[in-house]
Chain A
Amino acid sequence: MGKIIIEVKGLTKTYDGKRVVDNISFFVKKGEIFGLIGPNGAGKTTIIKILTTLVKPDEGEVFINGIDLLKYPQEIKKIIGVTPQENNLDRDLTVYETLLIYGKLHKVKDLKKEIEKMLKLMELWERKDSLVFTLSGGMQRRLVIARALLPDPPILFLDEPTVGLDPQIRKFIWEIIRKSKAKGKTIILTTHYIEEAESLCERVGIIHKGKLIAIGTPSELKEKLGRFVVEHINGDGRLIQWICKTEKEAYQLIQEKKIPLTIRHINLEDVFINLTGRKIR
Chain B
Amino acid sequence: MKINIWDWYPIFLKEMIIFKRKLFKLGYLLSAMVVPIIYLIVFGFGLGRSVQISSQDYLNFLIPGLVAMSSMTNSYNWIVNSINLGRLYFKTFQIFIQAPISFFHIILGEVFSGMIKGFFAAFLIILVGILTSSKNFITLPFLIALFLNCFLFASLGFNVGLISKGHEETATYSNFFILPMAFFCGTFFPLDRIPYIFKPIIYILPLTHTNILIRKSFLDKEALISLFVLISYSIFLFVLGVRFMKQYSE
Contacts and interface: CB of A to CB of B under 8 A. Distances in A.
Interface of A: 49, 52-56, 74-75, 77-78, 80, 82, 84, 86, 88-93, 97, 101-102, 104-107
A56 B10 CA distance: 25
Contacts of A107: 4, 100
Contacts, number: 68
Given A55-B250, A101-B10, A101-B13, A92 B18 contact: yes
Contact of B94 (A74, A88, A97): A88
A92 B90 contact: no
Contacts of B10: 101-102, 104-105
- Majority SS at the chain A contact face: loop
Interface string B15-55: 00110011000000000000000000000000000000000
Nearest to A56: B249
B239 interface: no
B9 A104 contact: yes
A271 to B, nearest CB: 31
Nearest to B109: A105
B22 A54 contact: no
Contacts of A84: 91, 94
Contacts of B97: 53-54
B98 interface: yes
Give the most central of B11, B22, B94: most A CB within 10 Å.
Answer: B94
A104 B7 CA distance: 8
Contacts of A56: 249
A90 B91 CA distance: 9
Interface of B: 1, 4, 9-11, 13-14, 17-18, 21-22, 90-92, 94-102, 249-250
A84 B249 CA distance: 16
Contact of B98 (A54, A89, A90, A91): A54
Nearest to A92: B18
Nearest to A93: B17
B95 A88 contact: yes
Contacts of A80: 98
14 contacts: A52-B98, A53-B98, A54-B94, A75-B1, A88-B91, A88-B94, A90-B14, A90-B90, A92-B17, A92-B21, A93-B17, A93-B18, A105-B99, A105-B100
Contacts of A86: 91
Contact of B99 (A55, A75, A77): A77
A177 B13 CA distance: 31
A93 B14 contact: yes
B98 A77 contact: yes
Given A89-B92, A105-B99, 20 more contacts: A49-B250, A52-B98, A53-B98, A75-B1, A77-B99, A80-B98, A84-B94, A86-B91, A88-B92, A90-B18, A90-B92, A92-B18, A93-B17, A93-B18, A101-B14, A102-B95, A104-B10, A105-B11, A105-B101, A106-B99
Contacts of B11: 105
A90 B96 CA distance: 12
A104 B21 CA distance: 20
Contacts of A78: 100
A82 B100 contact: no
5 A-B pairs closest in CB distance = A88-B91, A104-B10, A56-B249, A105-B99, A77-B100
Contacts of B95: 88, 102, 105
A91 B90 CA distance: 9
Contacts of A106: 99-100
A53 B98 CA distance: 7
Contacts of A77: 98-100
Contacts of B99: 77, 105-106
Contacts of A90: 14, 18, 90, 92
A15 to B, nearest CB: 10
Nearest to A72: B1
B61 to A, nearest CB: 39
A92 B21 CA distance: 8
